[in-house]
Amino acid sequence: MNTVVIKCGGSILNELSPSFFASLRELKEKKANIVIVHGGGPEIGEMLQNLQVSFEFVNGLRKTTAEVLEIVEMVLCGKVNKKLVAMLQTHQLRAVGLSGVDDYLLEAKPIDLEQLGYVGEVKKVNEALLQKLWSDGYIPVVAPIGMDENGQKYNINADAAAAAVAKAVRADQLLFVTDVPGILREGEVVKEATVETVQEMMKDGTIYGGMIPKVQAALESLVDSLEEVAIVSGKTTFYSIHGLHGTKIKKGVGVYK
Ligand X SMILES: Nc1ncnc2c1ncn2[C@@H]1O[C@H](COP(=O)(O)OP(=O)(O)O)[C@@H](O)[C@H]1O
C-alpha span between 211 and 251 (Å, rounded): 18
The CA angle 132-143-117, to the nearest 5 degrees, is: 130
CB 83 within 8 A of CB 13: yes
Is 117 labelled as part of a ligand binding site?
no
Contact present, 118 and 153 (Cβ < 8 Å): yes
Q: Which does 61 bind (CB under 5 to 8 A by kind): ligand X, ligand X2W, none?
A: ligand X2W
How far apart are alpha carbons 66 and 85 in whole angstroms? 27
Site string for ligand X2W, 204-243 (x = CB under 6 A): ----------------------------------------
Whether residue 203 lies in the annotated active site: no
Smallest gap from Cβ 201 to ligand X, in A, equals 6
Contact set with ligand X (CB under 6 A): 9-12, 39, 41, 178-180, 183-184, 206-211, 214
Known active-site residue 63: no
41 tagged catalytic: yes
Stretch that binds ligand X2W, among 14-22, 36-44, 200-208, 229-237 (CB under 6 A): 36-44
- Residue list 109-128, contact with ligand X2W (CB under 6 A): 119
Among 6, 34, 40, 105, binds ligand X2W (CB under 6 A): 40
Q: Which does 144 bind (CB under 5 to 8 A by kind): ligand X, ligand X2W, none?
A: ligand X2W
The answer to whether the annotation marks 40 as part of a ligand binding site is yes
Distance CA 203, CA 196 (A): 11
Hey, is 16 helix, strand or coil? coil
Contact call for residue 44 and ligand X2W (CB under 6 A): yes
Catalytic site includes residue 7: yes
| Residue 40 site contact among ligand X, ligand X2W, none (CB < 5 to 8 Å, cut-off depends on kind) | ligand X2W
Give which of 217, 232, 220, 223 is closest to 183, Cα–Cα: 232
Coil/strand/helix, residue 121 = strand
Which residues partner with 119 through β-bridges?
A: 155
Please tell me the distance from the alpha carbon of residue 145 to that of residue 12, in angstroms, as a whole number: 19
- Find the shortest distance in angstroms from Cβ 97 to ligand X: 18
Does 41 count as an annotated binding residue? yes
Least distance (Å) between residue 13 CB and ligand X: 8
Cβ distance 47 to 175 under 8 Å? no
User: Alpha helices of 96-157 — where are they, by DSSP H?
Assistant: 113-116, 127-135
205 is in an annotated binding site: no
Residues flagged as binding site for substrate = 40-41, 62, 155
Residues noted as catalytic: 7, 10, 41, 159, 214
